[in-house]
Chains A and B, each alone.
Chain A
Amino acid sequence: QKEVEQDPGPLSVPEGAIVSLNCTYSNSAFQYFMWYRQYSRKGPELLMYTYSSGNKEDGRFTAQVDKSSKYISLFIRDSQPSDSATYLCAMLYSGGYQKVTFGTGTKLQVIP
């Protein structure tokens, strides 16, 4: 079993929809949680970074962490065609420098 599970999709939504992306993890030692966006033929780009349980908002993006359920989510409001990309959840142990554990990614397509 992988430490981090993520539905690969693909997920196809109409422009303007609310998108929900999710990951579950098995190791309670993970303390830092991130979401990356990766466009085709590009490297991942950090979108959101959270440490504690709860919500963190940045523009149209909201990251949610529930450590008790080992479940993290990313919500995208008013989705745009430019949001079409692969979204990767990622996690870090405390004191683990930057040995990041990634989910396999969810491919999102926003249709105009």
Chain B
Amino acid sequence: KAGVTQTPRYLIKTRGQQVTLSCSPISGHRSVSWYQQTPGQGLQFLFEYFSETQRNKGNFPGRFSGRQFSNSRSEMNVSTLELGDSALYLCASSLLGQTNEKLFFGSGTQLSVL
């Protein structure tokens, strides 16, 4: 079974631009969540989607948004990029997003904002 796939692996953008990251969950998984990882703050929860609906949201500004498609694939968008948005963005999937389920992570998209 293929794991969680994130594209692209690396991305370089300049301040003020916008970016879209993509995540394909494990086949059959319907819950997709996104995390931002930085050296100082560690992993921080962005949002979680289940059946195309955002079910949970972390404490990030509205510039961070996401969506999920009917095939469970998900995209994350960051508008008006700031230097502080430079981070590893990780996507994770699970069957139904319940607390007792194992979360599977992708290898992430490394975003650098110049």
The answer to whether A104 and B105 have CB atoms under 8 Å apart is no
Q: B101 and A99: CB pair below 8 A?
A: no
Interface size for B (C-beta < 8 A) is 30
- The reply to whether B99 and A43 form a contact with Cβ atoms under 8 Å apart is no
Q: Are A43 and B42 in contact (CB under 8 A)?
A: no
Q: Does A42 contact B (CB under 8 A)?
A: yes
List chain A positions with a Cβ less than 8 A from chain B: 31-32, 41-46, 49, 51, 88, 90, 92-105
B-side interface residues toward A, CB under 8 Å?
Answer: 4, 31, 33, 35, 40-45, 48, 50, 55-56, 58, 90, 92, 94, 97-108
- Can you offer 27 A-B residue contacts whose CB atoms are under 8 A? A42-B107, A43-B4, A43-B92, A43-B105, A43-B106, A44-B105, A45-B105, A88-B42, A93-B99, A96-B99, A97-B48, A97-B55, A97-B99, A98-B31, A98-B56, A98-B94, A98-B97, A98-B98, A98-B101, A99-B48, A99-B56, A99-B58, A100-B43, A100-B45, A101-B45, A102-B35, A105-B42
